[in-house]
Amino acid sequence: MSDRESEGLPDRLRSGMGRGANWLQLLRFGAVGASGYAINLIVFAILTQALDVHHIVGGIGAFLVAVSNNFLLNRRWTFRAAGPYRGQAARFLVVSLIGLGLNLALLELFISVIGMSEVIAQAVAVGCVMPINFVGNKLWTFAL
């Protein structure tokens, strides 16, 4: 990124983007997110397609399974966090619940307004919310 391109960025963001460790952390977060994404979609498909659960309930169920996976992997591998689990778990849950709210709103929009199939809508909604989750977890949940 050139100096001219970075002029409008806050100093903290510009500084963070210049650190290789942050990019590695983002890659790890993406890998954990990919596993959570797969888990989310598999659980969602089972609940909505095989068990005929409403898509909102399916989204919540899929979230609960995936968020557990993501917390443990992000804590140990992505952010290599120390300290008590309880506080981090609570903050991770808050960030994840905000993401879930946005995910469910997008899911309903994609299905009811746009007419996407349920599984495709969930796939797109989860992808849209991922950057918000990374920033929240990086700056608040696992801040060192």
Q: Tell me: the pLDDT tens digits for 31-59? A: 998 999 899 999 999 999 999 999 999 99
- Looking at per-residue pLDDT, the higher value among 14 and 18 belongs to 18
Is it the case that residue 2 has pLDDT exceeding 80? no
For position 113, what pLDDT does the model report?
A: 97
pLDDT the model gives residue 51: 97
Expressed as residue numbers, the domain containing 49 is: 3-141
Cα distance between residue 24 and residue 122, in whole Å: 27
What domain count does the chain have? 1
Confidence band, pLDDT 50/70/90 cuts, at residue 17: low
Q: Which long-range contacts (CB under 8 A, 24 or more apart) does 57-60 make?
A: 58/118, 59/100, 59/103, 59/104, 59/107, 59/122, 60/100, 60/104
Distance CA 4, CA 59 (A): 42
Give the pLDDT score at 74.
93
d(CA 62, CA 86): 22
Does residue 133 contact residue 126 with C-beta atoms inside 8 Å?
no
pLDDT of residue 43: 96
How much is the pLDDT for 108? 96
- Looking at residue 102, the DSSP 8-state letter turns out to be H
* φ and ψ of 8, to 5 deg: -85, -5
Residue range 91-141, pLDDT digits in tens:
999 999 999 899 999 999 999 999 999 999 988 998 898 888 888 998 899
Rounded Cα–Cα distance for residues 73 and 35 (Å): 10
| Spatial contact of 37 and 69, defined as CB atoms under 8 Å apart | no
Going by pLDDT thresholds of 50, 70 and 90, the confidence category of residue 144 is low
